[in-house]
């Protein structure tokens, strides 16, 4: 580089450019995280005073069966929701990537549209759909009322939570899948058909392996936010549908036990980091160079 | 124009592929326009034309990746127009080769056999044999990204022929390779086709490739067939100015038939101010305009500097087929020299002269006055 953009030669310019974002990042991301992380090793000494005592008691409590159970259930919920998202999202992404160019744009906008609506509003919309006097039950009543139809109980169940989780996170699955599938060289698929494979076998033998990196990103990008979901279990779920984020929220608010809440939050964080590390490890194994 | 592999069909052959009034529209665009064509068993057939002429669409309809808007395609007399690609007795070598990047060479080649349900021992055996046929023994365990372009092309070829298709389709098979490798693979492909006896249908925009490899070519233009003939016939007896111009280069002179007999014809060429003598009749009406097509290598240069008179041209009475000119430009190409000659009327003529000895290139030079002449058998009449 000889055009003067080498940062080693223009340190002031570099500092001027990188300073503000770096400062922002430190002040509003790194520092709060560090504070919460420090809290996770602290003890409550008054209503609002926390002493950072370096204790592991909060982590020990987080590992009690009660909380481990909730964490386990959260993981199971997240895994199931991710699986459902994949099963629904893959055909959707495939269809979009094969759609004619103009339709493709509209379909992609359709996938992203929910992002532009507030999460709370979308969740309330689901309530309107699922509740006993909701649209679904109303529709079923109209169709099967003659047969003595009883409204289905859907609200405040794990089923409703799952519907909410899948609905909210589907775009996180579809978009990375679409990006991976759209990059696929079409002549590879044609070659597979040409060599005697049907469509299903072509998807299985060629599309899935070649899109595996995209599938892994889709899994990660879906699984992590689902694992930390708060609103869906809170609004749609019943007493037994709590996920770990709901417990964390309760520690910070009603229980006013910040150190324990911080420890739970960081348990989730460690898990997430572990997941990301595993993914990059797998990726590296795919490409040995 | 070398054509090492031009093969004349020895005996009348059986029709293997038949296109019947095939039309393909993409929205308002007519890619292929009412094409009817038969290809015979064992042929090396080339679809030749500039990009966008419909040749690739025609090939893709044969492979099953596109469905004709109307018309029928038959293979061995069976209508396969709407059959999916995986049910057709054809296999394709893609322009991009489309070698599966996540499968080793041998697994790429076995892929098609696996889909057929060939047992694994036989599969491996046939795949190894196919590898040997494309001179890639020992490459089975390589991954595609460890191969050169030429090797990948061979893998694509092996992957297709291992299926023993009735017809092998080749989409611009050599276009992505460098000139030297292209030459090499040209001979190899021609030899492979001889050995396998499979019908090859190739799409190419490269006329040299088509002339060198094909036993017959179809020249396409704007979705229509312009001419279907052997390479030699395409070059020596083009059916139209378009074909004459697309295959090699050509000098075209407007003219009118003045005398037409069974064994000769006289053509008046007003642009040149002379008359041409032809060794055959034309059958063209004396009232319509025709064109005299003259290939550059069929024009002779003769000295005129020291007042030399017109040379006699073979097969013609005195005074015919000779015209005065002046050399404007010379391009020495090693094996031959190309001359840009201006005639007295202003018309430009391209002349190619082989350098038969080491000193031939010095015979003619810039701004030299010359006679141009051609044999009675040198020119060809075009009606369109």
Tell whether B320 is covered by a domain.
yes
Residues B169 and B260 in one domain: no
Residues B84 and B31 in one domain: yes
Confidence at residue B11, expressed as pLDDT on a 0 to 100 scale: 58
Residues B229 and B364 in one domain: no
Question: Of chain A residues 165-224, which have a CB less than 8 A from chain B?
Answer: 185, 187-188, 190-198, 201, 205-206, 209-210
Residues B188 and B293 in one domain: no
CATH of the domain at B360: 2.40.50.140
- ipTM (interface pTM): 0.83
Calpha distance B302→A44 (Å, rounded): 111
Contacts of B116 in chain A (CB under 8 A): 196
Residues B352 and B302 in one domain: yes
- Name which of A102, A196, A198 to mutate to probe chain B: the one with the most chain B Cβ atoms within 10 A of its Cβ: A196
CB A59 within 8 A of CB A42: no
Which range marks the domain in which residue B259 is found? 249-382
Tell whether B159 is covered by a domain.
yes
Which ranges in chain B belong to alpha helices (H)?
A: 55-63, 105-116, 120-133, 149-161, 179-196, 207-213, 231-236, 241-246
Query: Residue A153 burial by CB count (10 A; 0-12/13-18/19+): exposed, middle or buried?
Result: middle
Name every residue whose Cβ is closer than 8 Å to that of residue B354 and which is 6 or more positions away in sequence: B297, B335, B336, B360
Tell whether B3 is covered by a domain.
no
Of residues A193, A198, A206, nearest to B100 (C-beta) = A206
The string of pLDDT tens digits covering residues B236-281 is 999 999 999 998 899 999 999 988 888 888 999 988 888 899 888 8
Calpha distance B287→A271 (Å, rounded): 91
Tell whether B260 is covered by a domain.
yes
Contact A187 B94 (CB under 8 A): yes
Domain boundary among B190, B221, B245: B245
Tell whether B8 is covered by a domain.
no
Q: How many domains does chain B have?
A: 2
Question: Alpha carbon B290 to chain centroid distance?
Answer: 25
Q: Over 80: is that where the pLDDT of B317 sits?
A: yes
pLDDT class for B25, splitting at 50, 70, 90? very high
Contact A187 B112 (CB under 8 A): no
Mean per-residue pLDDT of chain B: 90
Tell whether B202 is covered by a domain.
yes
The position carrying tokens 């002449």 is B373
Contacts of A195 in chain B (CB under 8 A): 86, 91, 111-112, 115, 159-160, 163
Residues B87 and B186 in one domain: yes
The string of pLDDT tens digits covering residues A28-81 is 999 999 999 999 999 888 877 888 888 889 999 999 999 999 999 999 999 999
Model pTM score = 0.81
Identify which of A66, A63, A67, A58 has the alpha carbon closest to the alpha carbon of residue A37.
A58
Of residues A196, A198, A209, nearest to B112 (C-beta) = A196
The string of pLDDT tens digits covering residues A107-159 is 999 998 888 888 889 889 899 888 888 888 888 888 888 887 788 888 888 89
The string of pLDDT tens digits covering residues B109-132 is 999 999 999 999 999 999 999 999
Calpha distance B380→A47 (Å, rounded): 106
List the single residue in B with minimal CA-CA distance to A199. B86
Residues in B whose CB is inside 8 Å of some CB of A read: 63-65, 84-86, 90-92, 94-96, 98, 100-102, 111-112, 115-116, 159-160, 163
Residues B92 and B120 in one domain: yes
Confidence at residue B4, expressed as pLDDT on a 0 to 100 scale: 43
SS3 A252: helix
CB B7 within 8 A of CB B215: yes
Residues B308 and B376 in one domain: yes
Of residues B65, B96, B116, nearest to A185 (C-beta) = B96
Residues B284 and B236 in one domain: no
Domain boundary among B245, B267, B288: B245
Residues B220 and B257 in one domain: no
Domain covering A65-286 assigned CATH 3.30.870.10 in the classification = no
The per-residue b/e assignment along B111-147, b for 16 or more CB within 10 angstroms, e otherwise, is: bbbbbeebeeeebbebbbebbebbebeebbeeebeeb
Domain boundary among B245, B267, B291: B245
The string of pLDDT tens digits covering residues B182-206 is 888 888 888 999 999 899 999 999 8
CB pairs < 8 Å spanning A and B: 59
Q: Over 80: is that where the pLDDT of B367 sits?
A: yes
């Amino acid at each position: 580089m000889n055009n003067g953009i080498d940062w080693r030669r223009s340190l002031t310019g570099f500092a001027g450019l990188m300073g503000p974002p770096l400062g922002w990042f430190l002040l509003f991301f790194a520092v709060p995280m560090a504070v919460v992380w420090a809290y996770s090793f602290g003890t409550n000494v008054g209503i609002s005073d926390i002493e950072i005592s370096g204790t592991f008691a909060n982590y020990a409590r987080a590992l009690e069966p009660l909380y481990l159970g909730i964490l386990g259930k959260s993981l199971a919920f997240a895994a199931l929701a991710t699986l459902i998202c994949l099963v629904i999202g893959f055909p959707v992404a495939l269809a979009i990537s094969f759609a004619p160019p103009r339709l493709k744009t509209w379909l992609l906008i359709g996938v992203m549209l929910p992002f532009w609506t507030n999460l709370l509003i979308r969740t309330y919309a689901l309530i309107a759909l699922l509740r006993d006097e909701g649209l679904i039950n109303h529709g079923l009543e109209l169709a099967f009322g003659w047969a003595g139809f009883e409204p289905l109980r859907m609200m405040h169940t794990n089923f409703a939570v799952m519907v909410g989780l899948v609905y909210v996170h589907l775009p996180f699955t579809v978009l990375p899948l679409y990006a991976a599938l759209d990059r696929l060289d079409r002549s590879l698929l044609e070659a597979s058909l040409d060599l005697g494979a049907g469509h299903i076998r072509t998807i299985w033998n060629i599309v899935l392996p070649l899109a595996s990196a995209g599938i892994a990103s889709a899994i990660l990008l879906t699984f992590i936010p689902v694992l930390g979901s708060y609103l869906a279990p809170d609004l749609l779920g019943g007493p037994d549908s709590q996920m770990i984020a709901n417990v964390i929220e309760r520690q910070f608010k009603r229980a006013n036990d910040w150190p324990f809440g911080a420890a739970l939050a960081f348990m989730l964080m460690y898990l997430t980091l572990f997941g990301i590390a595993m993914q990059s490890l797998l990726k590296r194994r795919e490409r040995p160079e | 124009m070398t054509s090492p592999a031009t093969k004349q069909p020895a005996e009348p052959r059986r029709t293997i592929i038949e296109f019947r009034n095939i039309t393909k529209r993409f929205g308002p665009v007519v890619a292929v326009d009412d094409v009817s064509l038969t290809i015979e068993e064992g042929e090396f057939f080339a679809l030749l034309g500039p990009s966008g002429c419909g040749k690739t669409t025609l090939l893709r309809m044969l492979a099953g990746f596109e469905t004709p808007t109307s018309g029928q395609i038959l293979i061995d007399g069976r209508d396969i127009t709407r059959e999916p690609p995986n049910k057709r007795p054809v296999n394709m070598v893609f322009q991009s080769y489309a070698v599966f990047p996540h499968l080793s060479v041998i697994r790429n080649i076995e892929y098609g056999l696996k889909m057929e349900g060939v047992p694994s021992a036989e599969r491996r055996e046939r795949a190894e044999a196919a590898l040997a046929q494309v001179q890639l023994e020992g490459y089975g365990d390589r991954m595609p990204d460890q191969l050169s372009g030429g090797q990948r092309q061979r893998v694509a070829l092996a992957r297709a022929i291992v299926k023993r298709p009735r017809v092998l389709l080749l989409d611009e098979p050599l276009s992505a390779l460098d000139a030297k490798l292209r030459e090499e693979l040209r001979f190899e492909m021609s030899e492979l086709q001889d050995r396998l006896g499979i019908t090859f249908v190739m799409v190419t925009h490269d006329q040299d490739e088509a002339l060198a490899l094909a036993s017959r070519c179809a020249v396409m233009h704007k979705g229509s067939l312009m001419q279907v003939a052997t390479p030699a016939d395409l070059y020596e007896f083009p059916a139209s100015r378009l074909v004459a111009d697309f295959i090699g280069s050509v000098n075209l002179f407007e003219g009118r038939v003045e005398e037409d007999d069974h064994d000769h014809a006289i053509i008046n060429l007003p642009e040149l101010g002379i008359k041409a003598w032809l060794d055959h009749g034309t059958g063209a009406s004396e009232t319509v305009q025709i064109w005299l097509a003259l290939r550059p290598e069929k024009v002779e240069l003769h000295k005129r500097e020291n007042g030399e008179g017109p040379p006699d041209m073979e097969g013609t009475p005195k005074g015919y087929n000779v015209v005065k000119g002046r050399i404007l430009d010379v391009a020495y190409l090693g094996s031959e020299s190309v001359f840009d000659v201006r005639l007295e009327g202003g018309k430009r003529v391209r002349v190619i002269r082989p350098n038969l000895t080491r000193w031939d290139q010095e015979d003619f030079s810039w701004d030299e006055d010359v006679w141009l002449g051609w044999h009675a058998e040198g020119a060809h009449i075009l009606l369109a």
